[in-house]
């Protein structure tokens, strides 16, 4: 009798538990997928776009680039909301040094994937690290192609960042052309969900010249004609043998979906960078330091000194001298 009771007791407990389990999974707002995701790191789990968060972070931390912010957020939103995109999203960030291209890309990654740049599904390529020897371009092409294909097979939601495209051996990037268009088949995966971001200074002079023209015409820097700008930036990149886009099929075949221009910064933007840097180092906000650091940096053109030549790049290393 006692044994029988004990035998009965177990299923009884389970029966009692069942509605509880049912209740949990039915009422949890994020559903069972997210519940599984709290225990494992898989591709679809890691991909958690939070574009309002990105928009907010960009407005607070990326100075002087409302145009880039708007283009980036709008482009990403349209892409991630499309359950079955026709091609992967290919974005190219262009602009002068220190205007926030790398910073914006890092913020974007942080708001796309749960683990940000530490996610196993983000791949960042830097020519000085991954492709240092121009004479080994053929081998690099093979490697790059197999990495992209391998990683896309593991995770269709992969993000690929190509830093410093201007230092990339010309010809190399064309190894990935097949992955960027609408017609390539990567076995067993939907490679069209991938995101590619290129970062380069190429076309920076063209962007600066247009911003300067607007300044001379006393127009708002945001009034830039995007079509015109896009054309001259891509032409500059395509025609300059000193960068990775030289004669590239990526430009020739129009595979870039979104060109994001980063405008040259004015002194008040540089000051915002200094203040931001002081705050992030936990230092006291001192207007005299902010002014001194901003004054110590070069501006162009020679006479009018409208835009910063180095943007926010030198800011962090200068601060200690003015404290
Ligand atoms: C994924 O890319 C990395 C480089 O970021 C490479 O080392 C690795 O081998 C690739 N994985 C596969 C499965 O190809």
150 CA distance to ligand 1 middle (Å): 6
The CB of 167 under 6 Å from ligand 1? The reply is no
The CB of 150 under 6 Å from ligand 1? The reply is yes
Domain topology for 51-262: Rossmann fold (3.40.50)
Task: State the closest ligand 1 atom to the C-alpha of 125, by its place in the atom list counted from 1.
Answer: 5
pLDDT in tens, 249-293: 999 999 999 999 999 999 999 999 999 999 999 999 999 999 999
Name the residue at shortest CA distance from atom 10 of ligand 1. Answer: 147
Distance from C-alpha of 149 to C-alpha of 187, rounded to nearest angstrom: 9
**What is the pLDDT, as a whole number, of residue 22?**
39
Q: What is the mean pLDDT of each run of 10 residues along the chain (323 residues)?
A: 42 43 40 57 84 97 95 97 93 97 97 92 96 95 94 91 95 93 68 95 96 93 89 95 93 96 97 95 94 96 96 93 92
Task: State the closest ligand 1 atom to the C-alpha of 150, by its place in the atom list counted from 1.
Answer: 14
User: Where does 155-210 show beta strands of DSSP type E?
Assistant: 159-162, 195-200
127: nearest Cα among 90, 173, 89: 173
150: nearest Cα among 111, 199, 97, 186: 186
The CB of 147 under 6 Å from ligand 1? The reply is yes
Domain ranges, ordered by start, for the chain: 51-262, 267-322
Name the residue at shortest CA distance from atom 12 of ligand 1. Answer: 150
263: nearest Cα among 78, 62, 77: 62
């Amino acid at each position: 009798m006692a044994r029988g009771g004990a035998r009965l007791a177990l299923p009884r407990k389970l029966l009692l538990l069942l509605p509880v389990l049912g209740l949990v999974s039915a009422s949890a707002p994020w559903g069972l997928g997210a519940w599984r995701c709290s225990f494992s790191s898989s591709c679809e789990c890691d991909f958690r776009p939070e574009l309002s968060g990105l928009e907010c972070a960009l407005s607070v931390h990326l100075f002087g680039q409302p145009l880039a912010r708007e283009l980036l957020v709008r482009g990403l939103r349209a892409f991630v909301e499309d359950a079955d995109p026709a091609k992967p999203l290919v974005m190219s960030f262009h602009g002068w040094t220190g205007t926030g291209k790398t910073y914006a890309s890092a913020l974007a990654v942080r708001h796309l994937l749960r683990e940000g740049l530490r996610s196993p599904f983000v791949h960042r390529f830097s020519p000085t690290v991954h492709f240092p020897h121009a004479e080994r371009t053929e081998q690099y092409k093979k490697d790059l192609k197999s990495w992209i294909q391998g990683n896309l097979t593991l995770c269709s939601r992969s993000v690929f960042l190509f830093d410093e495209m201007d230092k990339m051996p010309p010809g190399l990037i064309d190894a990935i052309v097949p992955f960027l268009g609408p017609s390539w088949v990567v076995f067993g995966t939907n490679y069209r969900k991938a995101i590619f971001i290129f970062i380069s200074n190429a076309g920076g002079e063209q962007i600066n010249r247009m911003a300067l023209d607007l300044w001379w015409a006393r127009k708002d820097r945001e009034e830039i004609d995007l079509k015109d700008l896009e054309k001259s930036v891509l032409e500059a990149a395509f025609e300059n043998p000193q960068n990775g886009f030289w004669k590239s099929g990526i430009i020739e075949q129009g595979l870039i979906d979104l060109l994001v221009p980063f405008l040259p910064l004015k002194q008040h933007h540089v000051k915002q960078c200094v203040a931001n840097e002081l705050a992030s180092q936990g230092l006291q906000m001192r207007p005299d330091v902010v002014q001194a650091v901003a004054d110590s940096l070069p501006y162009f053109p020679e006479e009018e000194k409208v835009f910063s030549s180095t943007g926010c790049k030198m800011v962090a290393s200068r601060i200690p001298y003015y404290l």
